[in-house]
DNA sequence: CACCATAATGCCACTCAGTGGCATAAGCCT
DNA sequence: AGGCTTATGCCACTGAGTGGCATTATGGTG
């Protein structure tokens, strides 16, 4: 991989600077407590340049997590060793491994974990950020589906299952992310994600034993 | 149920007028092609009043679909006939039926289907609307989980399965909604949704047979 | 090294979504 | 009909996001 041009390196540098400053500022004073002008001042960049790098204020703070999904897409494209496999892999497991690989690749950078953490925690208390992240995620799953249909002999469009599979993967990842963000020093994100995926089959069988009215009010109080 | 006060009825009337005008205007000229001032003028309402009824421009156009979810929540609260049931119901089926009931209730109004259709189609070509809808959906699933934990003897918090179940339901509904919006004269939304839920178990078993490189390029061309 | 072509940046003015504050009007209650 | 409460309208203001154009930095070429 040839070293990118000076121009490109500079662009990546300001991009990273914007992300880092944004995360720190938003974390300290809240997403709404920092104006774009302020952010641009601290990075010494004009607002116009900001909007050539990111699509919105939400976008810059969501970048760390979006990077995971973009890497996931490239992982889906990476060649699959047909000879090594005995049988065609389960779709969900294939995607799980691709996402785990993406995770490993992204977190190769030391500060990546902290950035992901800050990004997620911010999203949790900033509706517009959460919204932006979810929408990006939806667009990404769309692209993931396209790739999968091209690379694998999946059932025809119209069959709901491939899409549902991708959505399940996303649900498992979001769950893991939330759990990890709540206790970042506990179990690693990758492990949590594995566990979430492993829990998917069992969810279908879950039964719901109704409580009595009395028990309900107890459950309410335990909140 | 007593008839609401005149005040309340007026409020609901302007609310509905705002929704309808918004859907028509946005549908005709695109979400970005209509300013709030314009919308407020056609409904003869001040912008200030608009923001007392809706939280954002996206919000008014997303209202029809949000109403479905809000009704879903009240359905989850509705009493469950313990005597009639032989065994505790599967959680997913219980939620499926609650959502179907909500759907039936919401579409009791004649023009509701058209509103839902316009809202969905707009969301599909308006990222910020889609984002807003997804975020609302995420908040709603949170509330749904709370209700379920209160009403049913579900596994402890920390168990990923209840949340995954709700997310599966949401995925199935979104899939149905997309399919229905693409061909609103075909199968009904409720039926599509049933089918999507029924497809959930089969997604776990899906296998992905890799294509050869040649087949890949064919699949690419078929796009 | 000097040169031009090209691409990135900065600056300025502008639109429009969204908010706070306060005066006014409309529904409510006895 | 009276005051009381609650919704509405109006106005000024902040800040996100965009278009246009001048300026500067980079890449490639003789």
Digitized pLDDT (tens) for each residue of chain B, 223 residues in all: 566 786 889 999 999 999 999 999 999 999 999 999 999 999 999 999 999 999 999 999 999 999 999 999 999 998 776 666 677 889 999 999 999 999 999 999 999 999 999 999 999 999 999 999 999 999 999 999 999 999 999 998 889 999 999 999 999 999 999 999 999 999 999 999 999 999 999 999 999 888 876 666 666 666 5
- CA A10-A15-A18 angle, to 5 degrees, is 125
Nucleotides of strand C under 7 angstroms from a protein beta carbon? 7-12, 15-21, 27-29
Mean pLDDT of A14-32: 98
Residues of A in contact with B203 (CB under 8 A): 91-92, 160-162, 164-165, 168
Alpha carbons A109 and A116: distance in angstroms, whole number: 11
User: Residues B216, A151: contact at Cβ < 8 Å?
Assistant: yes
Which residues are CB-neighbours of A177 under 8 A, at least 6 positions away?
A: A65, A120, A189
Per-residue pLDDT tens digits for A59-103: 999 999 999 999 999 999 987 766 666 678 899 999 999 999 999
Per-residue pLDDT tens digits for A34-51: 999 999 999 999 999 999
Alpha carbons B60 and B176: distance in angstroms, whole number: 22
Tokens of B195: 């089918």
Average pLDDT, chain A: 93
Alpha carbons A134 and B52: distance in angstroms, whole number: 26
- In eight-state DSSP terms, residue B33 is G
- How big is chain B by its Cα radius of gyration, in Å? 20
Nearest chain B CA: its distance from A160 CA (Å): 6
Give the pLDDT of residue A162. 98
Percent of chain A exceeding pLDDT 70 equals: 91
End-to-end CA distance of chain A: 54
Which residues are CB-neighbours of B139 under 8 A, at least 6 positions away?
A: A127
User: Residues B161, A206: contact at Cβ < 8 Å?
Assistant: yes
If DSSP codes are grouped into helix, strand and coil, which group holds residue B37? helix
Residues of A in contact with B90 (CB under 8 A): 204-208
Q: Read out DSSP for A20-49? A: HHHHHHHHHH-GGGS-HHHHHHHHT--HHH
Give the pLDDT of residue B213. 67
Q: Read out DSSP for A90-133? A: BHHHHHHHHHHHHHHHHTTSTTHHHHHHHHHHHHHT-HHHHHHH
Alpha carbons B206 and B200: distance in angstroms, whole number: 11
Q: Taking Cα atoms as reference points, which of A45, A48, A76 lies closest to residue A165?
A: A76
Write b or e for each residue in A70-91: b if 16 or more Cβ atoms lie within 10 A of its Cβ, otherwise e.
Answer: ebbbebbeeebeeeeeeebbeb
The beta-carbon neighbor of A90 closest among B167, B201, B206 is B206
Give the pLDDT of residue A12. 95
Give the pLDDT of residue A5. 77
Lowest mean pLDDT among A132-141, A183-192, B64-73, B77-86: B77-86
**Interface contact B51, partner A, CB < 8 A:** no
Cβ-in-10-Å burial (0-12, 13-18, 19+) of B175 comes to buried
CA A39 to centroid of chain Cα atoms = 24
Q: Which residue has the higher pLDDT, A27 or B220?
A: A27
Report the DSSP beta bridge partners of residue A207.
B90
Residues 127-186 of B with CB under 8 A from A: 127-128, 130-132, 134-135, 138-139, 148-155, 159-165, 167-168, 171-172, 174-175
Q: Do A151 and B91 touch (CB under 8 A)?
A: no
Q: Do A208 and B89 touch (CB under 8 A)?
A: yes
Residues 75-94 of B with CB under 8 A from A: 80, 82, 87-92, 94
Instruction: Report the residue of B58, B164, B214 to disrupt the A interface, i.e. the one with the largest count of A CBs within 10 Å.
Output: B164
The beta-carbon neighbor of A206 closest among B90, B149, B199 is B90
Give the pLDDT of residue B88. 83
What is chain B's percent helix, strand, coil content, to nearest 5? 75, 0, 25
If DSSP codes are grouped into helix, strand and coil, which group holds residue A160? coil
Chain B residue nearest residue A81, CA to CA: B210
**Interface contact A207, partner B, CB < 8 A:** yes
CA of A11 to C1' of C11 (A): 20
- In eight-state DSSP terms, residue B5 is P
Nearest chain B CA: its distance from A26 CA (Å): 20
CA of B5 to C1' of C5 (A): 72
Give the pLDDT of residue B216. 62
**Interface contact B207, partner A, CB < 8 A:** yes
CA B61 to centroid of chain Cα atoms = 12
Cβ-in-10-Å burial (0-12, 13-18, 19+) of A105 comes to middle
The beta-carbon neighbor of B203 closest among A94, A128, A168 is A168
The beta-carbon neighbor of A220 closest among B150, B210, B219 is B150
Mean pLDDT of A108-136: 97
Nucleotides of strand D under 7 angstroms from a protein beta carbon? 6-11, 14-20, 26-28
Nearest chain A CA: its distance from B152 CA (Å): 4
Tokens of B6: 């005149």
Alpha carbons B202 and A162: distance in angstroms, whole number: 10
């Amino acid at each position: 991989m040839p070293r990118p041009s000076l121009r490109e390196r500079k662009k990546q540098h300001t991009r990273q600077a914007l992300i880092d400053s944004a995360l720190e500022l938003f974390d300290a004073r809240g997403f709404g407590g920092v104006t774009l002008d302020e952010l641009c001042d601290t990075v010494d960049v004009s607002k116009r340049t900001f909007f050539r790098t990111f699509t919105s204020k939400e976008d810059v703070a969501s970048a760390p997590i979006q990077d995971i999904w973009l890497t996931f897409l490239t992982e889906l494209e990476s060649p699959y060793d047909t000879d090594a496999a005995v049988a065609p892999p389960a779709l969900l497991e294939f995607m799980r491994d691709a996402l785990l690989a993406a995770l490993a690749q992204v977190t190769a950078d030391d500060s990546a974990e902290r950035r992901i953490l800050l990004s997620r925690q911010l999203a949790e208390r900033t509706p517009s950020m959460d919204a932006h992240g979810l929408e990006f995620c939806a667009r990404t799953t769309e692209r993931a589906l396209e790739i999968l249909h091209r690379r694998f002999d999946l059932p025809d469009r119209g069959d709901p299952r491939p899409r549902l599979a991708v959505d399940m993967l996303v649900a498992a990842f979001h769950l893991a992310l939330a759990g990890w963000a709540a206790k970042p020093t506990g179990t690693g994100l990758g492990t949590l994600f594995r566990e979430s995926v492993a829990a998917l089959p069992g969810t279908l069988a879950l039964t719901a034993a109704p409580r009595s009215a009395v028990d309900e009010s107890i459950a309410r109080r335990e909140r």
